[in-house]
Amino acid sequence: MRQIVKERDQLQAQMEAEAKNIDILLSKMKYKNLSFLMILLGFVMLVLGFLVRGPHLL
């Protein structure tokens, strides 16, 4: 059980790092592809939500 929690925390940290990268990309592109990035961000949030609830579903 602790292993699962540890893995989830690592994955969550990884996702947060990716979200920061997306923020950097956003500022670089100056909102040219805003809709695409919003979809991408939504996908990241979906994956994060699944990771948080995933262990309970298994």
Residue 56, pLDDT score: 62
Domain ranges of the chain: 2-57
Residue 55, pLDDT score: 61
| Tens digits of residue pLDDT in 9-27 | 888 888 888 878 877 876 7
| Tens digits of residue pLDDT in 22-55 | 778 767 766 666 777 788 888 988 888 888 876 6
Tokens 């996908």 sit on residue: 43
Per the model's pLDDT, the better-predicted residue between 58 and 41 turns out to be: 41
What φ, ψ does residue 30 adopt, rounded to 5°?
55, 45
Tokens 């699962």 sit on residue: 4
